[in-house]
């Protein structure tokens, strides 16, 4: 399963963009005028990544619950 945002980006793609933004901020061609725009872009990407990670965490929790429930049902069907 590959979780994608509304603009069809994967988490890996978002993290790559954040890495590029970080490199821009640390680079020699840093422009103070452009920094606000880049900062906003970075914050949007961080929010997208957080939402995606929340979705993945919820899916893992659901799978764990499903598996746990299946194991309990298996325990209840013993030969008495």
Among 50-59, 61-70, 71-80, which stretch is predicted with the lowest mean pLDDT? 71-80
pTM: 0.71
d(CA 17, CA 33): 20
CA angle 75, 79, 80 (to 5 degrees): 105
pLDDT in the model for residue 1 = 46
Q: Residues 7-62: pLDDT tens digits?
A: 789 999 999 999 999 999 998 887 888 999 999 999 999 999 999 999 999 999 99
pLDDT in the model for residue 15 = 96
The two three-digit tokens of residue 71, written as one number: 């194991």
Q: Is residue 15 within 8 Å of 49, Cβ to Cβ?
A: yes
Q: Is residue 45 within 8 Å of 17, Cβ to Cβ?
A: yes
Q: Where are the domains of the chain?
A: 32-64
């Amino acid at each position: 399963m590959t979780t994608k945002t509304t603009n069809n980006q994967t988490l890996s793609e978002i993290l790559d963009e954040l890495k590029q933004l970080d490199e821009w901020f640390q680079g020699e061609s840093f422009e103070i005028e452009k920094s606000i725009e880049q900062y906003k872009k970075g914050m949007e990407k961080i929010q997208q990544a957080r939402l995606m990670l929340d979705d993945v965490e919820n899916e893992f929790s659901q799978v764990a619950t499903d598996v746990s429930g299946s194991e309990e049902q298996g325990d209840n069907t013993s030969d008495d």
